Chain A
Amino acid sequence: MSTLELPKDWSPEKLINLYKKMLTIREFEQRVSKDTGKIKSPLVHTYTGEEAIAVGACAAINEDDYITSTHRGHGHFIAKGGDINSLMAEIYGKEGGICKGRGGSMHVADFSKNMLGANGIVGAGPPLALGVALASKMRKESKVVLTFFGDGAANQGMLHESMNLAAIWKLPIVFVLENNMYGWSTPVHYATAIKDLSLRAQGYGMKGFTIDGNDVIEVYMAIKKAVDLARKGGGPTLIECKTYRWDGQTTMDPDKYRSTKEKEEWKKKCPIEAYKIKLIKNEVIDRAIIQKIEEDTLAQIELSVKLTKKSPKPDTNAVLDDIYKNPKNLGGN
């Protein structure tokens, strides 16, 4: 596909939706970055610059398919259809948060949308995805699981155990590797001796592809193909999406280990800007529509902040609730 071409059989609505979702994530994360002083946690990781991956990938699955996420999970949450008001409230640690203020930024999850949780442990999502996929297979539900992880997780042992088990059991999983070039300050070329991390797939007997993670349509197409294969019982695929983390590792990271030049170069490859140009050139949207989308998006984010501010602090009387479903099980069954 040439860089300006769009899928011919897609409705304008479908095409515009991808744009809207990416923009929602961008504006949401920019607001989170801006409000870092109010949020106070030094462990808030934004998805800015990587939007095309979550949006393209989640658009390629059904609503009842599953995803597992990472510590950088706001984008996945939004892309999978999670409610941004309860996402914002969670990041602020409020009662109205999706996890009642107990999980925070690194543990946002919406199980009603089959978004099975951001995760504070790098590489912990893929092992969980195995069981979700196994359950789907056992119950003959033909649901698939996208498991997102980063270039940092690519060197965790549990990821490799997971790819191997998924391959031998032909589990319906797509391993979505978001290579944003850095694990905190450690560049991927330092942490790994191969250029394309998708090569790893070969060692487990599955197919691996490296794609442009900043091209939302390319992401969609690659994931869709892998999802179709998985759904048919063809087993897992590894898709490496090359991208770049615009912000520091966290909103409070001084980020002195990367050059301004490098960051500026990548910003020229902005996934949202590139897609917007495509939509304009293909006459899917015009200036007026863009302006309306931008206004609506900003209003939506503004509302989420407003609601968050209104939401009370979590009830301290409930701090010991929900540790167990049945704390003692003294009654037996």
Chain B
Amino acid sequence: MVEETKIMRGLDAIRLAIEEEMENDESVFIMGEDIGKFGGCFFVTEGLLEKFGSERVLDTPISENAILGCAVGAAMVGMRPIAEIMFADFLPVCMEMIVNQAAKARYMYGGQINVPITIRVPFGTGIMGAAQHSQSFESWFMHVPGLKVILPSDARDFKGLMKTAIRDDDPIIFFENKRAYFLTGEVPLDKNFTIPFGQARKFTEGDDVTIVATGAMVQESIKAATKLKEDNIQCEVIDPRTLVPMDKKSILNSVEKTGKLIIVDEGCKTCSVSAEIAAFVAEEGFQYLKKNIVRINTPDVPIPYSPNLEKEIIPNAKLIQNYVKKLI
């Protein structure tokens, strides 16, 4: 059977997933700053208020702890809230509710309850957001037992993973890459289309180098791999898609085949996603490695405002190509 699809932007795919799940389950609702009348800072929630009404699409004051506390409390008594934090950069304001409440409640209360919340957060560079509207904090949350950390890189995965997130009984932080919002792609229209967590996606096949990338870096890596093909260098580009749970097996299998690993990550380098991936490959797949692991990250610097400065520090296809060539 041919899969019925439609070409849409990443942000439309997220909206579609939310809309379908709200239709499907009355306990799903969404709350956040300017998500109703305004339709969300990135227009992800546009039209939801008109469709579902103000009882299920709730505009909130600028109170991130209250937003997430409210979501966690509602989830504890059986609702399935989706909470939007306008920018990932605002997460430090409400770490309490994510780290000490949502993530811990199930375990510390002896498994008495579930906390089925989905926290949606736009993140990353590309909009001249400067130091407080551009950051990539995903690795912080990998360090919090009890959370699942989801990070899709294109429209198809946005839809499939968002649906799985909303249906999942555990607390989820769902990172939405800003550049991926505006990237168009084919999205399945089947209302039962979901993507399981813990399954990486391979974008290109190759025997020479494994490139593991997340978020906007996936497209950069694909571009690099396409270029490198012209030089007869075959790269395997893998997007883990979910950081917790992490599909270690797919990554290790690829490294076993290629013997070389490059990790590309928009977060700054120290204690980043790339650090964790490098660590488990070194721990569990050292015997496969023919060369040192290479990590391509943004350096440890606040994100600057001016586009030429931003461009200077964010990894791109050209940089990835150079690293691959050096490694071969």
Contacts and interface: CB of A to CB of B under 8 A. Distances in A.
Interface in B112-139: 112-114
Given A138-B79, A328-B245, A332-B164, A100 B111 contact: yes
Contacts of B198: 328-330
Interface string A113-147: 00011011100101111111111101000000000
A326 interface: yes
Given A124-B69, A124-B96, A165-B63, A332 B108 contact: no
Given A164-B66, A325-B169, A132 B164 contact: no
A127 B245 contact: no
Nearest to B97: A127
Interface stretch (B98-106, B272-280, B314-322): B98-106
Interface string A288-329: 000000000000000000000000000000000111111111
A66 B77 contact: yes
A324 B116 CA distance: 10
A130 B168 contact: no
Contacts of A132: 73-74, 76-77
Contacts of B148: 324, 329
B69 A158 contact: yes
B196 A329 contact: yes
Interface string A165-194: 100100000000000000000000000000
A252 to B, nearest CB: 21
B76 A165 contact: no
B166 to A, nearest CB: 9
A128 B104 CA distance: 13
Contact of A124 (B63, B100, B195): B100
Given A135-B79, A330-B196, A165 B71 contact: no
Contacts, number: 164
Contacts of B163: 333
A233 B194 CA distance: 39
A97 interface: yes
B14 to A, nearest CB: 17
Contacts of A157: 65
B247 to A, nearest CB: 9
B106 A131 contact: no
A131 B73 contact: yes
Contacts of A333: 163-164, 167-168, 194
Interface in B184-237: 194-199
Interface string A92-128: 0000011111110001011110001101110010111
Interface residues of B, number: 51
B60 interface: yes
B70 A165 contact: yes
A103 B72 CA distance: 18
Contact of B168 (A136, A322, A329): A329
Interface string B163-190: 1100111100000000000000000000
Nearest to B117: A131
Nearest to A104: B108
A322 B107 contact: yes
B262 interface: no
Nearest to B76: A116
A136 B77 CA distance: 9
Contact of A99 (B69, B109, B194): B109
Nearest to A68: B73
A161 B12 CA distance: 31
Contact of A131 (B69, B114, B164, B170): B69
Contact of A322 (B100, B110, B164, B199): B110
**Best-surrounded residue of A66, A100, A138 (most CB of chain B within 10 A):** A138
Interface of A: 66, 68, 97-103, 107, 109-112, 116-117, 119-121, 124, 126-136, 138, 157-158, 161-162, 164-165, 168, 321-333
9 contacts: A100-B110, A102-B107, A124-B100, A127-B65, A131-B73, A135-B74, A162-B69, A165-B66, A333-B167
Q: Which 3 A-B pairs have the closest CB atoms?
A: A127-B69, A131-B73, A99-B110
